[in-house]
Amino acid sequence: MGATLPPVTLSASQAVALLAAVSAAPEAPYSDLAGAGVQKILDVLDPRTRVRAEALAGRVWVNTPPSSSRAIRSALEEAMAEQHVVRIRYTSREGATTTRDVEPVLFASTNGQWHLVGWCRWRDAMRWFTISRIERASVTKTVCSGHTVDEVGEPPPNARPVHGAAGPSGDTASPTSSG
């Protein structure tokens, strides 16, 4: 189910910033949906702003590595959103390939790589899986048992969730943070 937004006024630079962010992160979870959302925003820009945004967008280039399979990312996104176990075929950094059932807990981006962080039922522990090393993924009908983000551990000091409005320094205000 969708939502209707009140009229929003964006500058050409703001519109291009959205385009650049989505274009530079094709591996990000839900990136296809983000792209569709940005396109909807661009579609309702006033004609003058849209022309300026299109001209400015032609001056911003991104060079991204080849993307992982859309089918794999879709399965991971669905499993996360619906909180169902996902069965993955995964190749470790050392080259060992295994099939595992994982309860997805969060997506994390570190050092330019996206990871699925979840409860590995094979290892009976929280594990980080580099998404580019997942060869197959399929959502099962099994509902996750309720592992939480707190079980993952402390995030790095510069990590932050994607929600919250960025302040002038780039800090985000978390609705659950105190102080």
pTM: 0.72
**55, two tokens:** 């001209």
**108, two tokens:** 């994390």
Which domains occur in the chain, in start order?
Answer: 12-57 (no CATH), 70-152 (2.30.30.520)
**Tens digit of pLDDT for each residue in 95-130?**
999 999 999 999 998 888 899 999 999 999 999 999
pLDDT value at residue 177: 36
pLDDT at 149 over 90: yes
Dist CA 179 CA 169 (whole Å): 16
**Tens digit of pLDDT for each residue in 31-86?**
888 888 888 888 888 899 989 999 998 888 888 766 668 899 999 999 999 999 99
Dist CA 119 CA 36 (whole Å): 31
DSSP 134-178: EEEEEEEEEEP----GGGG-PPPTT---S-S-B-TTS-B--TT--
pLDDT tier at 5 (50, 70, 90 boundaries)? low
